[in-house]
Each structure stands twice: as structure tokens, then as C-alpha cells.
Amino acid sequence: MRRADANEVGVLLAHPRGPVDPTASVKRGVFAPADTWVSTEYLFRRDEDGDYWLVDNRGAVIHTARGTVYASPVNDAVGRLGAVDLAVTYGVDVNGHQLAVTALALSPGGSIPSADLNEALADLPVGNPPDIVHVVPEMKLSASYRPLVSPLQAQGIPKPSRNAWYLDPDTNRYKRLTVAVRTEIAGASPVSSCLGGRRAVRLPLAAGCRRVGQSAPPRWRVDDIADR
């Protein structure tokens, strides 16, 4: 067990100060005999300045043939484009393996050139960029005004359009999603489990949490955990 290094993804542990939820993932004797820690199941990274950034919920991590895709870094990156109003990243199952898809809702009159999309997703702090990015006319929102993933997942692979792009593996750049490319993706054979399956991966635990404008809760520690 160890603390996460800078920009290393980790699971956040919280030190309980009262009764522990019996359904929580409890760890005892982690840093000292008989100590008690609760896994939040949220993944964070710590940047070089010591700030902590939410990466994803552990159960929502997308495991693609190219590697792991974390939703928050992708959403943050495309959300910096001026035309983007909302962004959500989710997994779509295709013949036994997962594709990472990012849906965008644009501001009125907004448009996204592929060059801007490539620049936005070229250098993510952690994880890989999505396999497909597409613009949707609207997104259904939860009661707390967060985009709902389930309706988008139910649509499967996005339809070809001038506002849909796929990540070309040869150039590592986004290109227009055409009917031919979508057909190829939809008919692809499942990748081997060593590429597309959920692999055991060491996930060091983040030592604290500080989002923008929030202070880090005290006495949160780090650990290593295998993602199974």
C-alpha cells in the first residue's frame, strides 16, 4: 500500500468519525493496527500543485481495447471548447467489448471543427480519449440537472453524421464517422480479454480530495487496490 504519485489515478479512502454504513466497503488495519477506512469508490488524481481532481466513479470506468477511458478528464477537455454546453462520456457494449463514446450538446449556433476536437483531446492528464464523439440535439437531465447516460447508451453506436467522429487508430486523430466505418465498428469481432476485458490493475488511492473551491476533508489516506 502506498500513496499515489502525482497524476496517478487512485481510489479515495475516508476515515469514518461515526457509525460505519454496513453496506460500505470497509478496510481495517490499513495504516495502523485496528484502524478503519471506508472506500468512497471514487477515483481521483493529484496534480503537481497538490490539488485533487475527480477522475471517475470506480464502477463507471470504461475499459476499451486501447486501454482505460475516464469520463471526467474527457468531459473537462471537450467542455473547454466554446461551443460545448454539456458533455457526457459513457461505455457502449459492442460484440463483447466496450467502446467509449462522448456525447456533446452544443450552445445555440455552436459548431465544432474536427481540428478543435483533436486539439482538445490530444493531451489528457490521465486515461485515453474516447473511441467516438458525437453531437446530440438534446440531453435528458436528472433532477439535479446532470446528463443522463442510460438514454444515450440505449442508442448504441452513434449514427453517422457530419457531427460524429471516430478515433482513427492509424493516425490517432478524429475523422468523420461514415456509414462504412460504423458498419465496420458494429461488426467487429470481440477483442481478446487481455485487451478489452476488465483487467486487474493497481489503483493507488488518492490522499485527499480538493475540487475547485472546496477544501480537502482531513485524514483521508491512500492505498493500492486491484480493479477486478
Quote the pLDDT of residue 1: 62
Residues 88 and 37 in one domain: no
Number of domains in the chain: 2
Residue 172, C-beta contacts closer than 8 angstroms, at least 6 positions apart: none
Give a yes or no: residue 212 inside a domain. Answer: yes
Is 192 a residue whose pLDDT tops 60?
no
Residue 55: phi and psi, rounded to 5, are: -105, -45
Band of pLDDT at residue 188, cut at 50, 70 and 90 = low
- Using one digit for the tens of pLDDT, what is the confidence trace for 130-161? 999 999 999 999 999 899 999 999 999 999 99
pLDDT at 36: 77
What's the whole-number mean pLDDT along residues 175-195? Answer: 74
CA 166 remoteness from chain centre: 17
> Quick one: 166 and 206 in the same domain?
no
Give dist(CA 133, CA 70) in Å, integer: 14
Q: Which pLDDT score, from 0 to 100, does residue 79 have?
A: 95
Write the pLDDT tens digit of every residue in 15-42: 777 776 766 677 776 777 877 788 888 9
CATH code for position 113:
3.30.300.30
Regarding whether 103 and 29 lie in a shared domain, the answer is no
Asked if the model's pLDDT at residue 53 lies above 80, the reply is yes
What domain range includes position 216?
A: 10-58+197-226
| Domain-embedded: residue 2 | no
175 & 218 share domain = no
